[in-house]
Structure 1
């Protein structure tokens, strides 16, 4: 996914910014791992919004 993002694959297909994430159905990521994935795959406003939302999980 990082390679495709770096090639603007998703933006070229949709014509706009997208939010990317990654999960594995039989594995549960720790919050820090999820945060790292979000940071690596997103460099737009969606990244900040998602990371802020993640903070509410602890509540």
Structure 2
């Protein structure tokens, strides 16, 4: 299969939409196809007033 799209990752099977997303999950970043960066989930934080003393019920 031949794919003349410059954004093709080299497999020749890329189907890229107008937003630059390929069917395989990669995304065009303006230079190359790469896996989109996902926002890391915010880790929960506990302030000093929210901590439990040993033996306390939640």
Give the structure-1-normalised TM-score: 0.19
Higher RCO, 1 vs 2 (CA within 8 Å, ≥6 residues apart): 1
Give the structure-2-normalised TM-score: 0.19
